[in-house]
């Protein structure tokens, strides 16, 4: 908070520790400390937070970007490359046409963290960022303005899950990513107070089982994906077995989970066709899943 109000980084604060602080900065710091002392998450107090190499606007309209979701982004990037996307800097094309876009849908984009991370890393990807919350989309649009030329390849759309996408994309999406609500109603009491009291509940709680949103995405995804397309979805560790089973029930030939930085099964990967490169060599296998633990969301 002191770095935020002063404009100094940690080293500069030490070098200038004898300087008098402007009254306006002191007042702002006092207000921020009071908000944090009252239990408001630090990310909301600051008004922004880092996600990979992005600095994102965050406020109570959207979930706070977390390290678990950074792992989702990395798994999604790996999956995109496996499916033929190119990761790196934009190319300068000498021909008069550009390659067919690699279409990605980020469903329930919130702050736009996943969509923008993918757009900035995959220079030929077209990313659709969707959300049913107009408040969340306002935040995503604000963050979109801060990613430079990659913003020209991001489309923001309002609607519930796949309903937000234009019909011409049906059957042409190569990768679906999502950090959907996955907390069950009965688990709400176990949420930390700074989560339950401040973050948008509609982005946290899915319903009686916690799998409702995940089931909806997996049920509808096959009709939107190309023949070998994939879904990458954040889940709760204790849902890994059920999430893999749901993916297989809805016609995905291959499904497994990847762990987060704490070793908890956090990312579901569901693929439409077996036999493509990238078969998992660790973590959960195709027909079973394991994992337990708690995170910011159970």
Number of domains forming the structure of the chain: 2
Whether 59 and 131 map to the same domain: the answer is yes
- State mean pLDDT over 105-110: 97
Residue 44 lies in a domain: no
Same domain, 76 and 20: no
Domain assignment present for 284: no
Residues 245 and 113 in one domain: yes
Give the CATH number, domain containing residue 227.
3.40.50.150
Residue 210 resides in a domain? yes
| Same structural domain, 187 and 102 | yes
CA distance 176 to 182: 17
Same domain assignment for residues 126 and 31: no
pLDDT of residue 291: 38
Q: Report whether 12 contacts 1 (CB < 8 A).
A: no
What is this structure's pTM? 0.85
Q: Which of 12-16, 36-40, 113-117 has the lowest mean pLDDT?
A: 12-16
Tokens 């291959």 map to which residue? 254
User: Which residues constitute the domain of residue 17?
Assistant: 1-38
Shared domain check, 151 and 254: yes
Tell me whether residue 278 is in a domain: no
Residue 45 lies in a domain: no
* Phi-psi region at 144: left, alpha or beta (left = phi > 0; alpha = psi -120 to 50): alpha
Q: What is the pLDDT of residues 198-238, one digit of tens each?
A: 999 999 999 999 999 999 999 999 999 999 999 999 999 99
Tokens of 109: 């984009």
The verdict on 175 and 233 lying in the same domain is: yes
Indicate whether 266 and 141 sit together in one domain: yes
On the question of pLDDT at 283 being above 70, the answer is: no
Asked if residue 79 lies in contact with residue 175, where contact means CB atoms within 8 angstroms, the answer is yes
Domain identity same for 67 and 107: yes
pLDDT at 17 > cutoff 60: yes
């Amino acid at each position: 908070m002191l770095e935020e109000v002063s404009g100094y980084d940690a080293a500069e604060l030490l070098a200038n520790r004898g300087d008098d602080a402007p009254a306006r900065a002191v007042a702002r710091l006092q207000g921020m400390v009071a908000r944090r002392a009252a239990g408001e998450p630090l990310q909301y107090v600051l008004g922004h937070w880092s996600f990979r190499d992005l600095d994102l606007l965050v406020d109570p309209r959207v979930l706070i970007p977390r390290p678990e979701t950074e792992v989702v982004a990395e798994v999604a990037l790996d999956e995109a490359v496996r499916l033929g996307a190119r990761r790196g800097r934009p190319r300068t094309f000498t021909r008069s046409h550009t390659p067919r876009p690699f279409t990605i849908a980020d469903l329930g984009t919130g702050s736009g963290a996943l969509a923008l991370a993918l757009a900035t890393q995959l220079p030929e990807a077209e990313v659709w960022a969707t959300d049913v919350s107009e408040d969340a989309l306002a935040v995503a649009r604000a963050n979109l303005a801060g990613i430079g030329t990659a913003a020209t390849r991001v489309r923001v759309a309002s609607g519930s899950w796949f309903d937000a996408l234009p019909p011409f994309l049906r059957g042409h999406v190569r990768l679906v990513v999502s950090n959907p609500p996955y907390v069950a109603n009965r688990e709400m009491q176990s949420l930390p107070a700074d989560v339950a009291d401040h973050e948008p509940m509609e982005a946290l709680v899915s319903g009686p089982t916690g799998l409702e949103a995940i089931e909806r995405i997996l049920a509808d995804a096959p009709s939107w994906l190309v023949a070998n397309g994939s879904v990458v979805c954040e889940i709760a560790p204790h849902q890994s077995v059920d999430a893999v089973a749901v993916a297989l029930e809805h016609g995905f030939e291959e499904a497994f989970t990847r762990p987060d930085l704490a070793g908890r099964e956090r990312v579901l990967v569901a693929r439409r066709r077996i036999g493509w490169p990238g078969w998992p060599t660790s973590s959960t296998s195709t027909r079973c899943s394991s994992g337990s633990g708690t995170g910011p969301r159970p």
